[in-house]
A and B are shown apart, each in its own frame.
Chain A
Amino acid sequence: MTDAAWETLSNQAVAVCGVVYFLALISHLVQWTALRKLPVDAEVGTEVPVAVGAGAPVVQDVSEREPDVERRTALFGRLGLLLTIIAAAVHLVALVGRGMAADPNRVPWGNMYEFTLSGTFVVAAGYLLLQRRFGLAWMAPIVVALVVVLLMVDVVWLYDPVSPLSEALSSPWLVIHVVSAVIATGAFTLGGICSVLYLLKDRRPARSTGYLARVPEPATLDRISYRMHAFGFPVWTFAVLITGPIWAHQAWSSYWSWDPKEVWAFITWVVYAAYLHARATAGWKGRNAAMLALLGLATLWFNFIGINFFSTTSQHSYAAPAVVQVVPQDVPVGATGAGPASAGELGQPLG
């Protein structure tokens, strides 16, 4: 296949997986709308458990009472899961196609479009891998909706045609650094979803119908959320404080230079450290800890999307390569008025 063919394949795969995710979303929405009619203590005979662990709602057999609803929700629940699996597979094809389309072939995260494509894939795949083990079926509509929305943003605003990586990006550290950053981002995002639901559920614990009623108990949500964060935090530490600096040292001669992207990665790290502390401190457990987790998530996504738009000085530029100063520092510049210093630098890592 030619590079152009790979690129077309990738673009088509993105479109297809977007549509399939959307169908999965509809399917889950139908499932949950049907469930609304049932009181929460009616366990529905889906294959996927609605809730698990200590927080599991009391189970009663209702198949006699509401056979139709039961069959319908079971069907749509399973359909939604199946569609999500198909969509994630196509999503993977889109990623591989992106990498194959570049010359030389490379990992598919050379720019924001590709990073978002990878990040959403990790969220979807993480959910699929963990949903059985952790009993996350209730998370399906949120995860799928999030992936659909992010993919839309990605295609509409962030799209970039395939282009070769700049020189500094061709480093094995790029692969390790970005893979770990993407994985941590996925884990934090899933954990953040749990924290939002925790906060919502904590406010109105006693509802007996509707979506929230079928979400696990706050204590369980809090535990799942903690698990996700406890997994994400070391991975983030590895990405941001080990592989990032090693690579920065090789490429820019400075392992930590307080570049805005680094600053915000550090802020995210500190906020999540505060989250872990909060969980261990009386008076900060629960609500406050959950809010810190969300603050962490906000800094994480701001760093990824926001900084690229708000800061002009970041060397981690995905768009036009940033301009690097080549003029002695104590010397006035700008004889042409246009600020002549620079360019000609050899490309910047991203992160």
Chain B
Amino acid sequence: MSDPRDRQYDRLPEGRRAGELTVRELLRFAWRQITSMRTALVLLLLLALAAVPGSIVPQEGVDALAASRWRDDHPRLAPVYETLGLFDVYGSVWFSAIYLLLMISLVGCIVPRTIVYWRAMRAQPPRAPRNLSRLPDATAYRTDESAEQVLARAREVLGRRHRVRAAGDGDAADDGAVSAERGYLREAGNLVFHLSVVVVLVGFATGGLFGYKGGVIVVEGEPFGNTPQYYDDLVPGRLFSPDQLDPFTFTVDDFEVTWLTEGRGAGQARGFSADVRYREEPGAEEQTYDLRVNHPLTIGGTDLFLIGHGYAPVITIRDGTGELVYDGPTVFLPEDQSLRSFGVVKAASAEPQEIGLQGLLFPTFAMTEEGDPVNLFGQAVNPLLSLSVYAGDLGMDDGGAQSVYELDLDGLEQVTDEDGKNVRLDLRPGESAELPNGLGTVTFEGLEDWQRIQISQTPGKLVALGGVVAALVGLLGSLFIRPRRVWVRAREDGDGTLVEVAALDRSGGGDIAPVLADLVAELRGQEPPETKRDGTS
């Protein structure tokens, strides 16, 4: 089916030379270009092409860490890429321009088509062409029945699955023919599909603009309140406002995980499950939920997902004066699948000197034959904490934000023993170590679990989902309904009645021959022939 807008407009008003355009005509011309099928095609290909860089250059929104590493590795390219928006392709001006143009084109395309469709729906099927035998798919037979009988049967047969043109409107051209049409829903499907694409986009954009996504690491038993301060990271949409945050609180009471000790999956963990206690708002009744992978918890419009876990060794530090200067679970970040984790402890109030510790946690510690430390397993079977000690200025007073997962080594000096060797504390749960130079003592009290909870609001997600489902339904109609026009004409001549039957497939490429054969058989009152439908149409 060719699009009416693809027609060329080659007639010019009088008194002007070709090539001259008024502003109105120019706009009209532009609109026609934009809403042509060809433009839609080119824009679709452009969209596909424009999506490619986002899968090659690390994206800020997908993997911020990879993006910042890439920047560090390519100091000269990075600013160029930055200007081009290559670290945020799907939010960039040029990407947005392409899909917005596509949407404009889409709307410009479907609105006129809907009007045309509306009219076609209410119109009668068109009259039979004068010469049916000229159509590509036509056939004819002779019968002894009267033309009237044949036509009446044709009306009945076709009427079952077609819309039939009303009879006897006194029009001579209609004389002796039945016109029928079916498959109107194809175009409806096509319109629904395209309209739904817009709906999906609206739903998707709503999520991007008004939603947010954040994450927090919570240690068992420590409460979380849904305000920005509690988040480790929070990526808001452009139109997000903090009062959208649902006022819930939650605490993870217990975390369970099963470690596979044998079989192919040995070393892997299974069955993560966190017992969560939560209140939808302050003062509301307390509820519980078993938070697991693939089983998010929904509180109001917010979804909570369990996406990571690790260990938080409980460490206490007493300084040189015997004062308790650090106490509590410290989140260590896993470095590999077996949860060998890295972490940092900062005791900023320690006297005489501030104390910093950094090092590794081995959940199941062992020595290789070469004497290197290794971690065998993610479960805490034989935990060992191995820390280096720093003293000096932690740099925490100058007000700047500092990572809790990193020591600022500028003002610090690594602590050494009498032989000048770096001090290394290797502690098992319950063990303490004395720091040299009267700095104090460090105790490894035990291990707690932490969970990383992803918290997000995605408004419009049901709109988007509804849109795709509608699009799919429309698509099925658009692809598999075959619109068809059928005509039967009967004319009595000297020796009986000549019946001409013709059909036209309007979806292009339909195989009409078997349809015609069936129809003729029915008109003649026979069993339909056993036509083999090879379906190659």
Instruction: Using CB atoms and an 8 Å cutoff, list the residues of chain A in contact with chain B.
Output: 52-55, 103, 133-135, 161-164, 166-168, 170-171, 216, 220, 222-224, 226-227, 230, 233-234, 237-238, 241-242, 245-246, 249-260, 263-264, 266-267, 270-271, 273-274, 276-284, 292, 299, 307, 310-313, 320-321, 324-336, 338-347
Contacts and interface: CB of A to CB of B under 8 A. Distances in A.
Interface stretch (B164-172, B276-284, B402-410): B402-410
Contact of A233 (B56, B341, B479, B509): B479
Contact of A255 (B59, B269, B461, B534): B461
Contact of A103 (B263, B310, B465): B263
B471 A237 contact: yes
A118 B77 CA distance: 42
A234 B476 contact: yes
B74 interface: no
A267 B51 contact: yes
Interface in B430-461: 452, 454, 456, 458, 461
29 contacts: A164-B260, A167-B270, A167-B293, A224-B536, A227-B535, A242-B472, A252-B454, A253-B213, A253-B307, A257-B62, A258-B59, A263-B54, A266-B51, A270-B45, A271-B44, A271-B45, A271-B48, A281-B3, A282-B6, A307-B55, A311-B56, A313-B62, A326-B217, A327-B403, A327-B405, A333-B65, A335-B406, A344-B310, A346-B306
Interface residues of B, number: 93
Contacts of B48: 267, 270-271, 274, 299
Nearest to B310: A344
Contacts of B468: 237, 241-242, 245
Contact of B344 (A55, A161, A258, A335): A335
Contacts of A307: 55
- Ordered nearest first, which 4 A-B pairs have the shortest CB separation? A344-B334, A53-B536, A260-B55, A343-B334
Contacts, number: 248
Given A55-B536, A167-B294, A333-B65, 10 more contacts: A216-B536, A227-B536, A237-B471, A242-B465, A258-B89, A267-B51, A313-B58, A333-B406, A336-B342, A346-B272
B406 A273 contact: no
A343 B403 CA distance: 19
A216 to B, nearest CB: 8
Contacts of A233: 475, 479
Contact of B61 (A135, A258, A299): A258
Contacts of A227: 535-536
Contacts of A270: 44-45, 47-48, 51
Given A283-B38, A342-B335, A274 B264 contact: no
B534 A338 contact: no
A226 B509 contact: yes
Contact of B204 (A163, A256, A347): A256
Contacts of B271: 167
Given A223-B536, A237-B475, A278 B41 contact: yes
B55 A328 contact: no
A343 B335 contact: yes
Contacts of A312: 66
A281 to B, nearest CB: 5
Contacts of B204: 256
Interface string B217-247: 1000000000000001101000000000000
Contact of A346 (B38, B307, B407, B461): B307
A264 B465 CA distance: 20
Given A263-B51, A270-B48, A335 B342 contact: yes
B44 A277 contact: yes
Contact of A281 (B41, B213, B294, B344): B41
A151 B6 CA distance: 47
A164 B268 contact: yes
Given A162-B264, A242-B472, A271-B48, A252 B536 contact: no
A340 B405 contact: yes
Nearest to A263: B55
B456 A253 contact: yes
Nearest to A221: B536
Nearest to A247: B294
B55 A331 contact: no
B333 interface: yes
Contacts of B336: 343
Contact of A52 (B215, B469, B534): B534
A54 B464 CA distance: 43
B40 interface: yes
Contact of A313 (B52, B66, B458): B66
Contacts of B117: none
B358 interface: yes
Contacts of A279: 508
B14 interface: no
B526 to A, nearest CB: 25
Interface string B155-185: 0000000000000000000000000000000
Nearest to A283: B38
Given A162-B264, A255-B461, A346-B308, A328 B41 contact: no
A53 B511 contact: yes
B531 interface: no
Among B41, B47, B407, residue most surrounded by chain A Cβ atoms (within 10 Å): B41
Interface in B243-276: 260, 263-265, 268-272
Interface string B1-45: 111001000000000000000000000000000000110110011
Nearest to B509: A223
Contact of A342 (B47, B268, B334): B334
Nearest to A160: B264
B294 A170 contact: yes
Contacts of B293: 167-168, 251, 346-347
Contacts of A164: 260, 263-265, 268, 270
Interface string B339-381: 1011010000000000000100000000000000000000000
Contacts of A327: 65, 232, 333, 403, 405
A163 to B, nearest CB: 4
B333 A280 contact: no
